Amino acid sequence: MTNERGQRRYVEEPVGDPLGRFYTPDPVAELVVRDVLVPMLQAHNVSRPKILEMSVGGGSFVFWIRQYIEGAYVHGNDLDPDAPGLKLCDRTSNVDAARTRWSEGWDVNIGNPPWDPPAPAAPTIDHVGRAIRTAPIGLLVLPWSYGGQPTWSPMFSLEVGFEGVQPINPRPWIAHREAALYRWNAHIERRERREYFQPLVWR
């Protein structure tokens, strides 16, 4: 939904569905793009980035990328061919992102992957594992609880470029779990990495 100036206004999205989708509220996506992604790109002199969103959904991230990052090229993927965000992308696909071998040359992988989707869909951890191997910068919205689960520890190691976690306050989806932005950044040295960043407060 947009206002008279063509800017998106926050609308409470459905909590989720059987495919594990939780569309990201626009204010959350704007904070991630403006306050996290843009400074990361500037710090590493990345201009006109190639960005992959493996689960584009409602398009909140793509919309704000268009507002804040000049010349960005965005490939949006979603299993749902009618996902609204696909219309905002330069190129689109409708494949199982976790089971797809993506081309090389991406600068950023961003998004909010499906949370615990039912079989036969690939589990969330497979989606994240694929995402962090496709680009040096990864910004993914995931449940806060994943950070404390032993099965997830390989995703949050220095060896795969994990930079840290940033809580999102308040909960983007009131009736669901607490969420956080998990950050990967292969550009920085191991000694520069942090485990915890100040929360993103979106309202």
Higher model confidence: residue 8 or residue 50? 50
Torsion of CA 32, 37, 40, 42, to 10 degrees: -130
Query: Buried b / exposed e across 146-185, counting CB within 10 Å, b at 16+?
Result: bbeeeebeebbeeeebbbbbbbbeeebbeeebebbbbbbb
Strand order from edge to edge, sheet including 50-53: 91-93, 73-77, 50-53, 108-111, 137-143, 179-185, 162-169, 200-201
CATH numeric code, 26-201:
3.40.50.150
Q: Give me the pLDDT at residue 9, please.
A: 44
Q: Which tens digits make up the pLDDT trace of 80-130?
A: 999 999 999 999 999 999 999 999 999 999 999 988 776 777 889 999 999
Q: Which tens digits make up the pLDDT trace of 149-164?
A: 999 999 998 889 999 9
Q: Give me the pLDDT at residue 18, please.
A: 59
Ordered by start, the domain boundaries in the chain are: 26-201
In the chain, what percentage of residues exceed pLDDT 90?
A: 72
pLDDT at 22 over 50: yes
Respond yes or no on whether the N-terminal peptide bond of residue 199 is cis (omega within 30° of 0).
Answer: no
3 state DSSP class of 51 = strand
Alpha-carbon span 96 to 98, nearest angstrom: 6
Contacts of 14 (CB under 8 A, 6+ apart): 23
C-beta atoms surrounding 12 within 10 Å: 9
Instruction: State the average pLDDT for the chain.
Output: 88
pTM of the model: 0.90
Q: Give me the pLDDT at residue 176, please.
A: 74
Residue 15 pLDDT level (bands cut at 50, 70, 90): very low
Q: Give me the pLDDT at residue 5, please.
A: 34
- Six-digit token pair at 172? 């983007």
pLDDT at 33 over 50: yes
Q: Which tens digits make up the pLDDT trace of 163-203?
A: 999 999 999 987 778 999 999 999 988 766 778 899 999 98
